[in-house]
C-alpha cells in the first residue's frame, strides 16, 4: 500500500516506529513502519530450513557496544594475567603470593 503523501513530505522519528505526514500536522496520520521491520522476519520465515539461517537465529544478537566492551574487558584481564605471570617468573620463588580471582574482588572484610 502506498502512502498518500510522498517520501519527502513525511517525517521519520528514530525513537518511534511511525511515519507522519509533514504537510498535515493537525491530522493524526500515523503509519507504522511494519514493512521495513518485517523484511528480516520474512527472510527468516522464507529460508528457515537452511542451516545458516538456523544458526543465525539461534545465536543471541547484541549491540556492537556490548561486544566491544566485552572485548576490552577480556583484553584487560588477559594483560593483567600476563603481567602477574611475568612478575612471578622474574622474582624470587615464594616472594609473590598469588590470590584467587574471588579473593581479589574482596576489598575489605567487616566483622
Quote the distance between the C-alpha of residue 10 and its chain's center: 30
Per 3-state DSSP, the chain is made up of helix, strand and coil in percentages (nearest 5) of 50, 10, 40
The pTM assigned to this predicted structure is 0.44
Percent of the chain with pLDDT over 70: 66
Q: How confident is the model at residue 56 (pLDDT cuts 50, 70, 90)?
A: confident
Give the chain's largest Cα–Cα span.
Answer: 81
Residue 105: is its pLDDT beyond 60? yes
Domain boundaries, the chain: 7-58, 62-91
* Mean pLDDT of all residues in 51-67: 84
pLDDT digits (tens, 9 = 90+) for 5-22: 455 455 555 555 555 555
Distance CA 38, CA 35 (A): 5
Distance CA 59, CA 110 (A): 43
Amino acid at each position: 500500500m502506498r502512502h498518500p503523501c510522498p517520501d519527502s513530505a513525511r517525517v521519520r522519528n528514530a525513537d518511534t516506529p511511525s511515519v507522519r505526514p509533514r504537510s498535515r500536522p493537525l491530522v493524526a496520520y500515523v503509519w507504522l513502519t511494519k514493512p521495513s521491520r518485517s523484511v528480516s522476519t520474512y527472510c527468516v520465515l522464507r529460508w528457515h530450513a537452511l542451516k545458516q539461517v538456523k544458526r543465525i537465529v539461534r545465536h543471541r544478537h547484541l549491540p556492537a557496544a556490548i561486544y566491544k566492551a566485552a572485548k576490552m574487558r577480556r583484553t584487560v584481564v588477559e594483560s593483567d594475567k600476563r603481567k602477574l605471570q611475568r612478575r612471578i617468573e622474574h622474582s624470587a620463588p615464594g616472594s609473590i603470593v598469588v590470590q584467587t580471582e574471588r579473593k581479589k574482588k574482596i576489598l575489605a572484610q567487616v566483622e
